[in-house]
Amino acid sequence: VDLQGAQASGINRGIGRYSLAFTESILLKKSKFFDIHILVNGSIKKSALEIKAFFSALCSSENFHVFFVSSEYLGSKKDYSQSVLIRNAVINDLNPDIVLTTSCFESADSQVIYSIEKEENYLSAAILYDLIPLLHPKIYLESTEKKEWYQRCLQELQKSDLILCISNYTKSCAE
């Protein structure tokens, strides 16, 4: 479970709380047949530590993984691409069956790094909370940069093998 969705938007805000609660329910219901791992972005240090503390009783330290964005990360496309490679290398080393991304729509200026990799040897799932910017582009996507960022987010989401919508309304918008 990639818990960056709880990092950028904040542990105490909507997506952050949902990401934590969803992951907690998975960990509480896991059986001996599942080996659940958590991935956080160590470059967002405060929330990475908060998430580790939050799950300390449910997730062993061997199943808690941290990656760091490129040390020179300034948000450029090159920096982002390098950081995606770092994140994906950590995931590939785990050899997962499935990777759950808790948010594909974090702010372009955050250090959240995600990508849905179709070529890998695992399935991908992503949580979709809403498509409000797509429904109201004049309000949320006023600049070319924001439009391009949002389109990239949508393209990543569409690569998922499974999209988990938080409501029937979100599902109907996505269809």
- Averaged pLDDT for residues 36-51: 94
**Burial tier of 108 (Cβ tally within 10 Å: 0-12, 13-18, 19+):** middle
Lowest-pLDDT range, 24-38, 39-53, 122-136? 24-38
Q: Which pTM does this prediction carry?
A: 0.90
> pLDDT value at position 79?
80
The span from the CA of 16 to the CA of 153, in Å, is 18
In Å, the largest CA–CA distance within the chain is 49
Encode pLDDT of 84-122 as tens digits. 889 999 999 999 999 999 998 887 677 888 888 776 789
Task: Check pLDDT > 80 for residue 72.
Answer: no
> pLDDT value at position 106?
80
- Averaged pLDDT for residues 49-78: 88
Structure tokens that stand for 134 in this block: 């797509």
Alpha-carbon dihedral angle through residues 25, 45, 117, 77, given to the nearest 10 degrees:
150
